[in-house]
Amino acid sequence: MKVKFSLPKIDDDVRSQLVTYARSHAVEHRLRLRSQIILDWMEGMTYKESSRANDVTEAVVAKWRKRFSESLLDGLRDSPRPGKPVQVGEDVRNRVVHLACQRNEGGTPRYSQHEIAKQCGISQSWVSEILRHHDLAPHKTEYWCGKSPDPEFEPKMIEIVGLYLNPPQNALVLSIDEKTQIQALDRTQPELPMRPGNPRRLTNTYKRHGTVHLMAALAVETGEVTARRVDRNDSESFLAFLKYLDRKYRNVDLHLVMDNLATHKSEPVKAWLAKKRKFHVHFTPTYASWLNQIEIWFSILSRDVLKDSVWHSREQLIRELMRYIKEYNETRAKPFSWKYGKQYLIN
């Protein structure tokens, strides 16, 4: 006679974890199966229905219902195996750490856990455990702002930071740059919308509808963005953008923060700026375009609009970019809380 177990009280966190286990391909098959058996139980399925749905015996269903009723999620894990635990010697541990910190000579930047396990003659789970113990994460990469080779780095940096912290009276600080080669990528098949247990899905294959270049200026004191779409990223287009800013911001001095792109220093641009007393140009130091606040806004734009987007035409991409900028200025524009300190540099 089959023993009946009462379904324990389950909170939302446990229910969510069960769904994650049952849907994930990153966990072991046995844990996915056991989680699905419990989900079947929660949906009111009988032993027979659950055993058929999961291609297991009713005894297996009964076993994991019992374990779950006693220990919840912990009950779905394997019990400790009898016998002496496997030991990994210090020399093997040191070799795991050594390989994890070395560049792979096989052409890839680093050794994977699978490759380390194969070379050391241990399981991948042991490699993972050893790396966790030493707080090593070979799969992660962090970036820092390296030291600029510009001999005038410090005076240029101080000048730009000074503009951010204490802008001149009756003047406006504009942070200017271009975002080029924005691709209007379409997919060869319709996207599949997100649903419980599955994320939004796109085909790997795509088709191109051309590219878009965007020139933008961020008003540092207000956060307002002025942007224009251009067909070519050249000195002629940049000069036209400067003339547009000249017309937009009348009767006010403009301090322009720009990087060292050749377009910004072309002869036509320099000749035009020389005739405009209201324009004051401040170039960022070499390899220090991160001092330019417009880069922060470009990051926001990429995250909000461009990441994983589908565009059926170049014109659609242009419309959406312009609509986003208009909405951003009306509802979200504000000064960035921008900080700088020497502790952010590693020489």
pLDDT of residue 324: 95
Q: In what order do the strands lie in the sheet with 225-230?
A: 225-230, 206-219, 171-187, 253-258, 279-283
The per-residue pLDDT for range 105-119, each reduced to its tens digit, is: 777 788 888 889 888
pLDDT of residue 197: 78
112-119: long-range contacts, CB 8 A cutoff, minimum separation 24: 113/138, 119/95
Distance of CA 174 to the CA centre of its chain: 27
SS3 198: strand
The structure's pTM equals 0.62
Structure tokens at 227: 């942007």
Contact 110, 138 (CB under 8 A): yes
DSSP state of 59: H
Contact 68, 27 (CB under 8 A): no
pLDDT of residue 303: 92
pLDDT of residue 6: 77
pLDDT of residue 347: 34
Give me the CATH code for the 153-346 domain, please: 3.30.420.10
Residues of the chain with pLDDT under 50: 1, 342-347
pLDDT of residue 1: 42
Return the bridge partners of 214, or none: 179, 229
238 vs 227: CA distance, rounded Å: 12
Domain boundaries, the chain: 12-76, 90-133, 153-346
Length of the chain: 347
